[in-house]
Chain A
């Protein structure tokens, strides 16, 4: 049973096409994150689901019903805005009950609903205050309360945490997660923060330039990204892309450029069948899949490829240390434990974990192995 089904959805503002045919579906109780850089169309998509933007082409179904031309109030949705959009002249209680007042819900039922939500979000002491008297985190909570009180089919979140400071953001993030686990409502959550998407979502929809790049579980988008955009967007520091060439007819080895035009040969964990020798590919290696091969013994390990590199910059972050490493003509980033990080200027042997490496086609940028 899906709560939300979107098929072939398009949106144009004049000649500018913002959404170019998006297909998406959320199962009942699922937490779907729409993630992508600014201008990718994720907020427009959310506004269209809410009914705040018209549909140029395609179809939106909520609980099986086509809602393309249904007014926002009749879609049985609730939304939390980035700016919280609390009504400034009303108290917290009035903010929460405004929707029920509009729908002429009986007073007794309203009081009960406010009580339930206030207890759930621990905002009972704030009910008589005006939004201007609340802190950022409290406003955020009230905004969620206003959405939760409705008991809708669908929850929509539009970058709800981006106005909070870093510490509060992490707290509210886990609170949203806890809330979703408790309430179990289908949720569509827009964010530009891939960490938020990874931590919260049961499935992530990565968007770019109005197109859905990949719609999959967080682990999959991270480990097996559908293309180079997803690979580069998910994860920080980003995945390293190294141009490579298939070295043999079986597609079991590849070469990359080393120091002074010299070619380094790497053994691929999964042979790229039918690729043909000399085919150009892009090797994607995440920073955490690069380790130091100090001892000669590690050299022979089947799933590791060892290359020499020069340490250019070391950036300790506390728990771990990032290092910029010079490999031939290009710089790659490695992520090391704080204790085992190399020193600046050091010449090191890097071991790539080839089982985790991704291979992309350089022209289509798609994942090929």
Chain B
């Protein structure tokens, strides 16, 4: 009986055809995906490879190619000896500038976003919805629109060409995003929790720290990742409001690419680009899955 069924299945032409069609379909899908993955990964490969290839080899064999010999020289040059705009100190300063700017700006804008979101969702007042809508404009208004006002403000505050000035800009510019994230997350926390806590005798701050904040880790991770990578990668404000040694790393990369009078130093440039990309890459590498989880998760399971 079992044999009969098995042999019958083996010669069933419809089943064979279906299996072939399935295989061809899969093959098509995977080829398609592999092709696009290749396109996406290629630039990363080129940059990583070139940062380890000696310059003569790049010039000889072209930009795209496997390293024939490994050299860490380019990394060292990019870090502290390469000359940009007359000073020969590499990108070290700019890297630390970026850290000095990104970490405080991320922390401050996230904390303000948590607080704004908490107030706009759980302590609504007359006009709070209008206020929220106004803040949301910041999400849609392009940053270049505020270049002139910022120039005016930084000039008056004496913060031109300083990291403190950029911190201020990024805190304000990022506020609409962090507020939007947190407010929309807190909306899903039941109001009854707040009411129960008020009857229990807890006030504004105690409710925030004891009830809201312990529920906030998903959105906290999302906001921190978003702000950190956004501020680190930001370039426009850095170029416009700082110069030379005060520039964040994204701005100084441009200086490196455009300032040279001699031959293009592809090896140093590749290493420089990678140095500038490492922090956001690390953040995504370690926090990426929490980011996706946090975006799709509600407050209370």
Q: Which residue numbers of A lie inside 8 Å of B, CB to CB?
A: 47, 50-52, 71-73, 77-79, 81-83, 85, 87-89, 98-99, 102-103, 132, 146
Q: Which single residue of chain A is at the shortest CB-CB distance from B214?
A: A89
A-B pairs with beta carbons under 8 Å apart, 29 shown: A50-B195, A52-B195, A72-B195, A73-B200, A73-B201, A73-B202, A78-B199, A79-B195, A79-B199, A82-B192, A83-B192, A85-B192, A85-B193, A85-B195, A85-B196, A87-B196, A87-B197, A87-B211, A88-B193, A88-B300, A98-B197, A98-B210, A99-B200, A102-B201, A102-B202, A103-B201, A132-B301, A146-B196, A146-B200
> CB of B215 within 8 A of chain A?
yes
> CB of B198 within 8 A of chain A?
yes
Partner among B206, B300, B301 whose Cβ is within 8 Å of the Cβ of A102: B206
**What is the bound-complex CA distance between A73 and B210, given in angstroms?**
17
| Interchain nearest-CB distance for B296 vs A (Å) | 18
B200/A81 in contact, CB under 8 A: no
> CB of B190 within 8 A of chain A?
yes
B-side interface mostly: helix
* A87: B residues at CB distance < 8 A: 193, 196-197, 210-211
Known: A87-B193, A88-B300. A77 touches B199 (CB 8 A): yes
Chain B: interface size category: 10 to 19
* A50: B residues at CB distance < 8 A: 195, 199
B140-154 Cβ-contact flags toward A at 8 Å (1 or 0): 000000000000000
**What is the bound-complex CA distance between A85 and B198, given in angstroms?**
12
* B200: A residues at CB distance < 8 A: 73, 98-99, 102, 146
Partner among A72, A78, A88, A132 whose Cβ is within 8 Å of the Cβ of B198: A72
Query: What is the count of residue pairs linking A and B with beta-carbon distances less than 8 angstroms?
Result: 59
* B215: A residues at CB distance < 8 A: 88-89
| Interchain nearest-CB distance for B211 vs A (Å) | 6
**What is the bound-complex CA distance between A88 and B211, given in angstroms?**
8
Q: Which residue numbers of B lie inside 8 Å of A, CB to CB?
A: 190, 192-193, 195-202, 206, 210-211, 214-215, 300-301
Q: Which single residue of chain B is at the shortest CB-CB distance from A94?
A: B210
* A82: B residues at CB distance < 8 A: 192
Q: Which single residue of chain A is at the shortest CB-CB distance from B300?
A: A88
Q: Which of B190, B201, B202, B215 has the most CB of A within 10 A?
A: B201
| Interchain nearest-CB distance for A299 vs B (Å) | 59
Q: Which single residue of chain A is at the shortest CB-CB distance from B213?
A: A89
* A132: B residues at CB distance < 8 A: 301
A73/B199 in contact, CB under 8 A: yes
* B300: A residues at CB distance < 8 A: 88
The 3 closest A-B pairs by CB, nearest first: A99-B200, A85-B192, A102-B201
